[in-house]
Amino acid sequence: MLMIDKQKVEPQQKPHILVCNDDGIEGEGIHALAAAMKKIGRVTVVAPAEPHSGMSHAMTLGTPLRIRKFLKNGHFFGYTVSGTPVDCIKVALSHILPSKPDIIVSGINYGSNTAINTIYSGTVAAALEGAIQGITSLAFSLTTYENADFTYAAKFARKLAKKALAESLPTDTILSVNIPNVPESEIAGIVIAEQGRSRWEEAAIERHDMFGNPYYWLSGTLRLLDDSMHKDEFAVRRNYVTITPLSCDLTNHQYISALEQWNLKK
């Protein structure tokens, strides 16, 4: 019988770092991130058992979740949860960790989470869920799906995590970091950027199965709508690391007073 005992509180002074992602526990990026974090703290990895890209802030309500231990080269590496990135954070905080971690880091994601991808991203959502629960949280994404080199990204993640542990972030706010997939020598610098407006031009593909029935597969190409170094997608394409503060408040505050002029009556 597999027992998931809550970890014991260890009397160490090193910060406790919860590491999550959306590519699943076998994703290369989470191993690079966990290794980097082990240099500055005690690490617990809790990640989806399967890849969950594009899962946004989805959580699993209709079915139960399982927690399992995951071995790497015969040694305990972390826990898997049979659900989404947000499920991982919720279950880690309620049933795996002995107390709130000092920081949550999510990633390192395959593929940038700039512009509209911010709202589709499970990597970002895991960090936001951490912030909602009052924990300093960071999300890291690398701008490629192939030939990924996490070396500089992991190094920068470690540096930013140290800084974030020393500083404090506003309520319900995370930092989402996008890192170009280039050697450190080609990194142009760091930009604090806004979420851009670039978005997908949809082209769900229609195919037919062996019975002649159609099926549809989501696809598309990202259309660049950003034209300033203040926007994440624009800057990261110019080899800048972008850092974007994101919050879970979706209110369009600027539009409140205009909407009041609609004078709606019940």
For residues 56 and 136, which CB has a smaller minimum distance to its own copies in the complex?
56
DSSP 3-state of 95: helix
For residues 71 and 73, which CB has a smaller minimum distance to its own copies in the complex?
71
Task: State the nearest-atom distance from the C-beta of 144 to its own copies, in Å.
Answer: 17
Decide: is 216 part of the binding site for its own copies (CB under 8 A). yes
- In the list 93, 105, 126, 138, the residue contacting its own copies (rule: CB under 8 A) is 93
Cβ-Cβ contacts under 8 Å for 196 (sequence gap 6 or more):
114, 115, 225, 226, 231, 232, 233, 234
Task: State the nearest-atom distance from the C-beta of 202 to its own copies, in Å.
Answer: 5
Name which of residues 220 to 249 contact its own copies (CB under 8 A).
241, 243-249
Decide: is 203 part of the binding site for its own copies (CB under 8 A). yes
Answer positive or negative: Cα dihedral of 162, 163, 168, 173: negative
Decide: is 60 part of the binding site for its own copies (CB under 8 A). yes
- In the list 17, 103, 105, 128, the residue contacting its own copies (rule: CB under 8 A) is 128
151's tokens: 């070396």
Tell me which DSSP letter residue 194 carries.
B
- In the list 25, 30, 125, 142, the residue contacting its own copies (rule: CB under 8 A) is 125
Question: Beta strands 205-208 and 214-217: pairing type?
Answer: antiparallel
Name which of residues 158 to 197 contact its own copies (CB under 8 A).
159-160, 163, 167, 169-170, 172-173, 175, 184, 187, 189-190, 192, 194-195, 197
Decide: is 202 part of the binding site for its own copies (CB under 8 A). yes
Decide: is 67 part of the binding site for its own copies (CB under 8 A). yes
Decide: is 65 part of the binding site for its own copies (CB under 8 A). yes
Whether residue 231 contacts residue 194, with contact meaning beta carbons closer than 8 Å, is answered with yes
For residues 37 and 81, which CB has a smaller minimum distance to its own copies in the complex?
81
Query: From CA 88, how far away is CA 98, in angstroms rounded?
Result: 15
SS (H, E, C) 123-171: HHHHHHHHHHCCCCEEEEEECCCCCCCCHHHHHHHHHHHHHHHHCCCCC
